[in-house]
Amino acid sequence: MGRKKSTPRISATAKAEVTAKAVIQRKKTVSENIPPDVTRAKASAWLDLISPLTEWAGLKGDELRHKRELLRLQREDVLAEIVSRARRQIESDGRATKPVPNKFIVPFLEQASLEDPGSELVDMWASLLASAASDYASHHVHFVSIISQLSAKQGNILRGVAVIDNAEYLSAATNTIYVDFQSSRISETIKSKVRGIYDLEGMKPVVEGLFDLPGIVVDYVFVEDGALFFDFHGGVGDDEVDYSILEAVVLIRRVDTNVNIRPWVFRLSYYHLTWLGYYFAEACGLVKANEAGQTIDEPSDA
C-alpha cells in the first residue's frame, strides 16, 4: 500500500512569512493637500524675510518675468562681447583655431555669462577663450573655475603682482622666485646679499632691491641689528583679504619668516607668484608672449 504524499508544513509556513513580510514592507504613500492661502502665506513669509537683501523679492507677475528676461538678455550680451573680443584677439595674432571640448565650453559659457558687462574680467574671459581655441590644454577647464571665483579687483591685483606683461620675462622671474624666494630658500638668498654690510644705511637699498622682482609683492620687511632698525611696507595695504583669496586658489603664495644673520634679524612677509599663477596669467591675457624676433634682457639673479 502506497504511502500518501503530504506537503511539508515548513513550505506553507515559509510562504506565509514571505507574504507577511511583503505586506509589512509595502510602502504607504501619504499626500497632503495644502490650501492655496497657506501656500501663499508661506511664500509671502520668505519674501518678507529676504526683501531687504534683494530687489527681486518685491517683484510680482509681469514685473518678475520682465526682470528675468532682462537678465537673460544681459547674459547673452556679455557672452557676445566676450566671443567678439576673443575673435579679435585671434585674428590680430593670426592664430589657427580648432574646436574646444564640451568639458571646457559648457562651464565656460555658464560662468562667463554671469560676469557684469562692465567688469574688467570680461577681457580675461575673452583671452581664456582665445587661448583655449588656439592651444587647448586640460588646465583651461580649471582656469574657468578660478576666474569664476575672482572679482575684478582681484584680477587687477594679480596683474599688479606680475608687474610686466611679457610672458618670457615673467617666466624667468618666476623661475628665480622658485630658486631663491621660497620659504626654504630665502635665508640663504639674504645671506648671500648682505654679506659684508655692517650698517643700516647700507642695508636698506640692498633689501629693497632684493625684492624688486616681477612676481613678488612685499607686505613688510623689518630689519634690526639689536639697537637700530628700519622697516618698509609694500603694496598689500588694506587688500589682505583679496591677496588671501588669490592665495586660496593657489595663484600666489605667502611667505612669513624670520632670518637671523648676526648681527641682523630680518622679519619678512611677502607674496610671490606660483607657477600655476604664471600659466593662469598667460592664458588669461595678463602677460603676452614675445613677438617673433623680439629679444629681452634676462632678469638678474636678484
- Give 226's pLDDT tier (boundaries 50, 70, 90): confident
Percent of the chain at pLDDT > 90 equals: 44
The least confident of 23-37, 74-88, 122-136, 153-167 is 23-37
| Amino acid at the residue 117 | P
Q: What is the spatial distance between Cα 43 and Cα 40, in angstroms, rounded to a whole number? A: 5
CA distances from 68 to 59, 62, 73, 103, 200 (A): 11, 10, 9, 27, 64
- Nine-digit cell string for 58: 518685491
SS3 state of residue 257? strand
- Give 34's pLDDT tier (boundaries 50, 70, 90): very low
pLDDT (tens digit, 9 = 90+) per residue, 20-31?
444 434 444 444
**What's the average model confidence in pLDDT over 260-273?**
90
- Which helix or strand (DSSP H or E) is residue 230 part of? strand 229-233
Provide the 8-state DSSP code for 253. Answer: E
What pLDDT is attached to residue 88? 93
pLDDT (tens digit, 9 = 90+) per residue, 246-258?
999 999 999 999 9
19 vs 81, residue with greater confidence = 81
Q: Is 116 exposed, middle or buried (0-12, 13-18, 19+ CB in 10 A)?
A: exposed
Starting from the edge strand earliest in sequence, which strands make up the sheet with 216-224, in order?
229-233, 216-224, 264-273, 252-261
Question: Does position 293 have pLDDT exceeding 80, yes or no?
Answer: no
Structural domains in the chain?
66-148 (no CATH), 167-283 (3.30.1140)
